[in-house]
Chains A and B, each alone.
Chain A
Amino acid sequence: MSGASGLVIGPILLPLLAGAGMLLLNGERHRWIVAGLNVGATFALVGIAAILLEISDTGTRDVYRLGNWPAPFGIVLVLDRLSALMLLLTNILALASIVYSLARWHRAGAHFHSLFQFLLMGLNGAFLTGDLFNLFVFFELLLAASYGLLLHGSGLARVKAGLHYIVVNLAASLLFLIGVSLIYGVTGTLNMADLAARVPAVAAESRGLLEAGAGVLAVAFLLKAGMWPLNFWLPTAYAAASPPVASIFAILTKVGVYIVLRLSLLLFGESAGASAGFGREFLLFAGLATILFGAVGTLASQDTARLGGFSVLISSGTVLAATGMGQVGVTSGALFYLVSSTLGIGAFFLLVELIERGREPGADMIAVTREAYGEEVETDEAEADVGIAIVATMAWLGVAFIGCALVIAGLPPLSGFIAKFALLAAALHPTDQPGGAIPGSGWALLAVLILSGFATLVAMARAGIRIFWASPDRTVPRVRVIEMAPIIFLLFICAAQTVWAGPVIRFMQAAAHSLHAPAGYISDVLDNGPSSRQAEGK
Chain B
Amino acid sequence: MLKKFHREIEYCTYCPKLCRFSCPVGNATGNETYTPWGRQSLLHLVGEGAIPWGREVAASVYRCTTCMLCREYCDHELEIPPVMLAARAKAVKDKMQPQEAVEFKGFFAEQHNPMGDDLSARLHSLLPKSLFNPDAQVVYFPGCVMIYNYPQTIKNTFRLFEALDVNYVACYDADVPCCGVPLHDHGYEDEFKANAEKLSQKLAKAKAVVCGCPSCAWALKTMLPGVGVKITDRIYHLTEFLAPLVAEGKLPIRRPYPKRLIYHDPCYLGRYLGVYDQPRNLLNEVCREPLVEFSWNRNKSYCCGGGGGIPVSNPVLAREIAAQRLTEANEGEKKSVVTACPSCMRAFQKADESLEVLDIVDVLVRCI
Does chain A bind chain B?
A: no
A: residues with CB less than 8 A from B are: none
